Amino acid sequence: MMHSAVRRLLAGIVLCLLAGAAQAAIAPALLQSLAGDDPDARVAAVAAIGALGTPEAASLLRTLKDDALYLMPDGQVVASLAPSAPAPEGAAAIVVNNRLRAAIEAALSGMDLMAPGPAQRLAAAHSLLDQEMSPAQVALVQRALQGEQDGQVRSALQLLLALASLQAPQMAERAAAARQVGELGGSAQRAPLQAMLEPASAEPNAAVRLAVTAALKAIDARQARTELLGHLFYGVSLASVLLLAALGLAITFGLMGIINMAHGELLMIGAYTTYLVQSLFRQYLPQAVDLYLLAAVPAAFAVAALVGMALERSVIRWLYGRPLETLLATWGISLVLMQAVRTLFGAQNVEVANPAWMSGGVTVLGSLVLPYNRIAIIVFAVLVTAGVWLLLNGTRLGLFVRAVMQNRRMAGCVGVPTGRIDMLTFGLGSGIAGLGGVALSQLGNVGPDLGQSYIIDSFMVVVLGGVGQLAGTVIAALGLGEANKLLEPAAGAVLAKIAILAFIIIFIQRRPQGLFAVKGRSIE
């Protein structure tokens, strides 16, 4: 009992000292209103304290939110050091109901507009966009705007003030507010503008109604531009995936003339290699797990290239010049590879997580988020394409590959090892397919059927671009990717695919050589 009394006495002393320090700048009348019985007065007191914008006011509101504010018998309001600290003798806790708690959270959101970090201030401004501001919060936003230097935060604060002024008594102020909402707002701000044109609460002034209508049109036009930019970006992203999937096929089919139905499974092998590298990093190098992708790129290329060279030496080398037999043989190989993966890893998909540096995205135009993983894949596709071009046009191996593909017999007569070049060329195309699997692993789960989704699109890219033409493959991939993403919103995914396939059939009927015709002598 003695110890309990001492603890309460000490707690009371601490509480009173803290109350004197924290509430020195807060009017006693506001504190008394917090402890009163009038709910409207309590909410108004919270708003008035929040409008102070001082650290002491923020501390008091957080203490109240934590149910750690007490009313003493003599009418004094004191704050506890922590919610778990014992209350002084005779003190009664100030009860916080749901309405008061909502008012406290709104006031704290407004006070975060004074935070030191711009990201925190921007988040506070965005949180206020989702609620109706009180006059005290409007005053706080005005004060925050006066000293704000960050452009994004200033725009958000100006939008808050414009929304608050839509119901102003002066006609000119309402019209100016509507114009500013049209300049700064997005689709979320259409509702208050649309409400001003509803018959039940129609804006009485014709000039204001015209300003509101113009603001709605401006928001819709900006939203349409944002959606178009989003479709274009995702079209480029899809084109990058198609390019990585088709680039290897452009070598094995375009240059060598081999209809490789197992090309999709080489993509799958690259994706599963990425999964294995990730698992090894998690087990043996957990502190460097975010770097697993850097090791997965050469590993996937090497594994897929070795599998491709093994297939060329064991099966495909005997089938050159026999397209039907090659098609059937590689289709059988694809089934074998899929079943082998199911046996080793199971039929269920496996997860390949994005590294931390590829998580998240960058926000543009206020609402469009461009994911980092898709941006990285676009850059990766550009680098791979540039590397393939340099390899084919600037190295001895590339010279031999082009010589064998144009005239095998003449190349053999001048000493080019045609059999070895065939193996290396097929291995190169297979390795590039493995790199495509690395990219695909960053967009979704990896499963045994992963490659089947891209084999048809890969052939369409190669045929449309022109057999054996690297530039045509790039342009065809970009065109098909953009066409898919631009048609899907209007026609749906299935009808978009059908329309693109119909276009390719008609195009090939008119121009069988594709976008770019092969120059020089072709392979026998």
Question: In this structure, is the dihedral angle defined by the CA atoms of residues 258, 259, 265 and 268, taken in order, positive or negative?
Answer: positive
What pTM was computed for the model?
0.73
Is the distance from CB of 107 to CB of 49 less than 8 angstroms?
A: yes
Is the distance from CB of 121 to CB of 109 less than 8 angstroms?
A: no
d(CA 469, CA 51): 67
SS3 of 36-48: the string is: CCCHHHHHHHHHH
Please give the structure tokens belonging to residue 252: 């094995």
The pLDDT value recorded for residue 147 is 78
Distances (CA, A) of 387 to 395, 444, 505: 11, 26, 31
Residue with tokens 């081999």: 258
Looking at 66-189, list the stretches that DSSP marks H as alpha helix, in order from N- to C-terminal side: 98-111, 118-129, 135-147, 151-164, 171-184
Per-residue pLDDT tens digits for 404-444: 877 778 888 888 888 888 888 889 989 999 999 999 898 88
Please give the structure tokens belonging to residue 13: 């002393």
pLDDT of 68 over the 80 cut: no
The pLDDT value recorded for residue 18 is 39
Is the distance from CB of 339 to CB of 268 less than 8 angstroms?
A: no
Distances (CA, A) of 467 to 185, 193, 199, 328, 427: 49, 55, 63, 21, 19
- Strand-strand pairing, 368-371 and 92-93: unpaired
Domain limits of the chain?
2-105, 117-204, 228-510
Is the distance from CB of 232 to CB of 482 less than 8 angstroms?
A: yes
Is the distance from CB of 332 to CB of 265 less than 8 angstroms?
A: no
Q: Which residue from 458, 501, 447 is spatially nearest to 242, judged by alpha carbons?
A: 458
Q: Using pLDDT thresholds of 50, 70 and 90, give the confidence band for residue 198.
A: confident
The pLDDT value recorded for residue 86 is 61
Architecture of domain 228-510: Orthogonal Bundle (1.10)
The pLDDT value recorded for residue 393 is 87
The pLDDT value recorded for residue 479 is 87
The pLDDT value recorded for residue 458 is 84
SS3 of 483-505: the string is: HHHHHHHHHCHHHHHHHHHHHHH
Mean predicted lDDT score pLDDT of the chain: 80
Residue with tokens 């789960």: 445
The pLDDT value recorded for residue 273 is 94
Per-residue pLDDT tens digits for 131-142: 777 776 777 788
d(CA 302, CA 496): 36
Angle between helices 206-249 and 372-394 (to 10 degrees): 40
Average pLDDT over residues 162-188: 84
d(CA 100, CA 65): 9
Average pLDDT over residues 57-84: 67
Q: Which residue from 243, 249, 273, 281 is spatially nearest to 441, judged by alpha carbons?
A: 273
The pLDDT value recorded for residue 522 is 43
d(CA 328, CA 420): 24
Residue with tokens 């048609």: 487
Q: Using pLDDT thresholds of 50, 70 and 90, give the confidence band for residue 17.
A: very low
